[in-house]
Each structure stands twice: as C-alpha cells, then as structure tokens.
C-alpha cells in the first residue's frame, strides 16, 4: 500500500511569528494555527513517502508536547527542500499514523500570494495533494421554548419499545465534537474517555454546550430518577474535542482540518465502531483519506446533513459510505435518512437541560439507534445499518423519519434473536 506524507502551509498576517520545532510546537504556536482568522490562509499538501514507519506507537493525544513524533530523514529532507524552493517557512510536523501521513506546517510570507503558492506546488511532481485548510461548524441551535412536551423524539421513534430488545450495552461511540460535561447527572460514567485536540485555543471541556447536548441524546442515563433518557443509555462515549465554541457559552462551535484529522486518526485506533460527527463543512481530501481508513476498519460513520441545497457544508455526510442524517421538517418530504431535530430536550453543562434543534441532534439520534442495532449484531456493517434504517422510515402526520423500534425489530427477526 502506498503511504503518504502530508504538509500544511500556514500564511499569517505577519511573518514574525516564531517557528515551531520540527515536531509539533508550543501551545502558543498551535493556538495561532487554530485561530479562525487565519483559516483562509491555511493550506494542506501531501506527497508520497515510502520510508515512513507506519508501525510507530506515538499517540496523537500527546501532540502538544515536543518530541512525541519523529519524521523520517527522507521526508524531512523533502520538506526542507520545498521550504527552500518556495521560500516558505516550516513551522511544525507530525505523522498521521493510521493512513501513513506525515503532516507539516509552513509559514508563507506576506509578500507571496497563497493561490500562487498552491498553483506552483500543484505542479511539483513530488506532491500529490494540495488543498486549503477547511473549517467545520456544529449544526445545532438553542431554542427559546422550553415547554414543548418532553422528549417527543422518543415517542416519534418508539424508543421505549426498542429498549425492550436493546439499549446499546457494551457499544462504544466515538464522538468528534466540542467538550462534554461528564459530571452532568445524566452523563456520569457515560463518557469512558475524553481528549482535547484544541486545548491550545480552548482548554476547557466540561463547559462546552454542543458536545454535552449530543452526548445526552445518545447515552443519557436510564432509570436514574434524573432528567432524560438517551437513545442508547447503556452505550458509552469516547469524547474527542476537536471543535471549540465560537464564543463563550455558545452552542455554535468551529473545527478545522487539523483538529479533525487528529481526532479521526485517534478514533480509528480507539476500538469504537461508531463515529458520530454532528458537524459539516466543505469537502476535504485529507479527512476523506482518514474516513476511508475508518470505513476499512469497520467503523460506521454518522454525520450531519443539511441537504442538497447546502452542498458547500455537506462533508463528511456527502462522502460515500457515510450515513448522512437530516433533521425532520414538519410538512415536507425528507430525502435520505432523517430523525427528529426540532426542539429536542437534551443535556447542557452544569446539570441543566434545554430544547435544541438541528441536524446535529438528528445525527446523534441515529448514532444511538445504530448502537442499539450493534448490540444485537456486533459485526453490523454500514450497508446493513443503512438498510435497516431506511426500511424503518415512515410518515406519521408531521413526522417523516426513522422508527427505531421497527429497525431493531427487523434486525432481531433477521438474526433470530430471542
């Protein structure tokens, strides 16, 4: 199999920024990379490297510490040559172990045009991929009407009936999102691991709203005499923070190719068989490579889908083999897989609750339903999951979407479970 080394080029408004080490640099330098104001000037580039040692055991969780990663001398020489040839400054580098990718950050001086640099790099025969760094946004909003009947989504999808057959026991869902309040009464002991890939720009974890809301939808505790019930209350979540709140105490959050790639790479190695990505953005070549690797490893990827009229923010839902999920829209016909996403009660930080809307919520519901299916059939494939979800879809007045009880019951019949 061909291995690939990737490089990222960062063009900032001043070239006086101190350079990072040849491994990953300091928190301040990483904060500069994660600064949304620099996003349009961040580029990713890749070239083949047959000498990369793909068996290295370095963990992306230590990416903020110098010396955790080592590059091959060949790739270092090539990256140095590129820096010299194009007059760009190398800032940092790290390997993307699961797909054999080695990543490097460069600084492009202000007197150079980023599009021209991209164009010139695209003609370099050593380089196979050149792309922009992309931003991704979580897809949920807070609603002001807290008095809607509690957990209407559970009734619409007949979750109570589905729980007679499965509750997600022993199933792990990897969630790439913001942080999570794992001290919330409904989430205590439900988050088995957590890791922050955007710590240098957002060091907090438990105060983040979006991830807390998504986790509650999927795995909020059952029968604890508190709050709500999750779709798969006996499943657990590995929470990877790669998105950070757009502003303090905001439901809206932002991620980029850098943080998402670190989280996906780690999720592939985690052992989780479901990957929830309640977010969307433009197509991204490097993330696509990682997600394809996840698919090869049998991970079912579920992502928020804003629909064909929002094609510029449909990735990764638009990627073949990913289950894209739309929020049900009263009075309109849904295309593809849909689940409740209007004013759904879920968990928020500090033991609170609120009604949240958006395809982010619908995505979490579908990840939870897949956990129910996977409890009954641990080797469940993407194709099987998609089939059972699609065949469970129904039209009930103002609701058109999946029925969890139908999906679980049909799977149970097919495998003759008791």
Which of 133, 165, 186 is the endpoint of a domain?
A: 133
For residue 398, the domain's CATH number is 3.40.50.200
Exposed, middle or buried by CB within 10 Å (0-12, 13-18, 19+), for 174? buried
- For residue 53, the SS3 value is coil
* Shared domain check, 368 and 329: yes
Indicate which residue of 177, 181, 305, 354 is catalytic: 177
Is the Cβ–Cβ distance between 171 and 273 less than 8 Å? yes
For the ranges 59-68, 121-130, 263-272, the lowest mean pLDDT is seen at 59-68
- Please compute, for residue 173, the number of CA atoms within 13 A of its CA located in the half-sphere on the CB side: 42
What integer is the mean pLDDT of 280-286? Answer: 94
List, for residues 212-255, the tens digit of each pLDDT value. 999 999 999 988 888 899 999 999 999 999 999 998 889 999 99
Residues 89 and 181 in one domain: no
**Whether 236 and 144 share a structural domain:** yes
Taking the C-alpha atoms of residue 219 and residue 186, their distance in angstroms, rounded to an integer, is 8
Domain that holds residue 72: 4-133
404 and 351 fall within a common domain: yes
d(CA 143, CA 355): 6
Q: Distance between CA 24 and CA 264 in Å, rounded?
A: 18
With bands split at pLDDT 50, 70 and 90, how would you rate the model's confidence at 418?
A: low
Span 208-217, pLDDT tens digits: 999 999 999 9
Give the residue, 199 or 133, on which the prediction is more confident.
Answer: 199
Active-site annotation holds for 360:
yes
142 and 106: one domain? Answer: no
**Domain end call among 115, 133, 151:** 133
**Residue 123, Cβ density class (10 Å: 0-12 exposed, 13-18 middle, ≥19 buried):** exposed
pLDDT confidence tier of residue 399, bands split at 50, 70 and 90: low
* Residue 175 in tokens: 């969630």
The one catalytic residue among 210, 234, 284, 392: 210
Measured CA to CA, the distance from residue 311 to residue 237 in angstroms comes to 29
Give yes or no: residues 107 and 256 share one domain.
Answer: no
CA distance linking residue 220 with residue 33, whole number of Å: 34
Last residue of a domain, one of 84, 106, 133: 133
Beta-strand ranges (E) seen in 58-128 are 89-96, 101-107
- Mark whether 31 and 74 lie in a shared domain: yes
Q: Active-site residue among 11, 75, 79, 360?
A: 360
* pLDDT at residue 4 is higher than 80: no
* Nearest by Cα to 246 from 4, 80, 34, 104: 34
Q: Are residues 69 and 31 in the same domain?
A: yes
Q: Are 340 and 284 members of one domain?
A: yes
Q: Could you check whether the bond before residue 233 is cis, i.e. omega within 30 degrees of 0?
A: no
Same domain, 373 and 271: yes
Model pTM score: 0.79
Please indicate, yes or no, whether residues 211 and 265 belong to a single structural domain of this protein. yes
What pLDDT does 29 receive? Answer: 65
How many domains is the chain built from?
2
Give yes or no: 234 in active site.
no
Tell me the sheet residues that pair with 348: 352
Q: Which of 98, 56, 53, 49 is nearest to 77 (CA)?
A: 49
Q: Is 102 a catalytic residue?
A: no
Which tokens sit at 84?
């010299």
């Amino acid at each position: 199999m061909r291995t690939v080394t990737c490089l990222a080029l960062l063009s900032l408004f001043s070239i006086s920024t101190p350079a990072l080490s040849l491994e990953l640099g300091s928190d301040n330098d990483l904060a500069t990379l994660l600064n949304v104001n620099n996003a349009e000037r961040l580029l990713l580039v890749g070239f083949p490297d047959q000498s990369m040692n793909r068996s290295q055991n370095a963990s992306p969780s230590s990416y903020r510490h110098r010396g955790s990663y080592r590059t091959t001398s060949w790739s270092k020489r090539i990256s140095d040559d590129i820096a010299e040839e194009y007059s760009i400054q190398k800032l940092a580098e790290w390997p993307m172990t699961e797909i054999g990718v080695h990543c490097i950050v460069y600084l492009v001086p202000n007197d150079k045009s980023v599009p021209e640099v991209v164009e010139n790099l695209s003609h370099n025969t050593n380089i196979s991929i050149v792309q922009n760094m992309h931003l991704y946004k979580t897809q949920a909003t807070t609603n002001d009407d807290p008095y809607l009947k509690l957990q209407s989504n559970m009734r619409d999808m007949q979750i109570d009936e589905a729980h007679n057959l499965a509750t997600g026991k022993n199933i792990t869902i990897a969630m790439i999102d913001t942080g999570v309040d794992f001290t919330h009464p409904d989430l205590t002991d439900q988050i088995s691991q957590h890791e922050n890939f955007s710590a240098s720009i957002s060091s907090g974890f438990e105060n983040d709203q979006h991830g807390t809301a998504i986790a509650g939808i999927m795995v909020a505790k059952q029968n604890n005499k508190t709050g709500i019930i999750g779709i798969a209350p006996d499943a657990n979540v590995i929470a990877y923070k790669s998105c950070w709140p757009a502003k303090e105490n905001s439901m809206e959050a932002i991620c980029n190719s850098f943080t998402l790639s670190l989280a996906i790479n780690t999720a592939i190695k985690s052992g989780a068989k479901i990957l929830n990505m309640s977010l969307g953005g433009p197509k991204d070549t490097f993330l696509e490579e990682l997600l394809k690797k996840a698919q090869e490893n049998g991970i079912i990827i579920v992502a928020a889908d804003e629909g064909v009229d929002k094609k510029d923010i449909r990735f990764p839902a638009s990627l073949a083999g990913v289950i894209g999920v739309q929020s049900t829209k009263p009075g309109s016909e849904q295309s593809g897989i849909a689940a409740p996403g209007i004013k759904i009660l879920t968990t928020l930080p500090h033991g609170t609750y609120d009604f949240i809307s958006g395809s982010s919520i619908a995505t979490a519901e579908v990840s939870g339903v897949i956990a129910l299916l996977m409890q009954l059939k641990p080797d469940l494939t993407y194709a099987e999951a998609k089939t059972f979800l699609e065949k469970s879809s129904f039209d009930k007045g103002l609701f058109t979407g999946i029925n969890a009880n139908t999906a679980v019951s049909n799977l149970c019949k097919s495998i003759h479970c008791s």
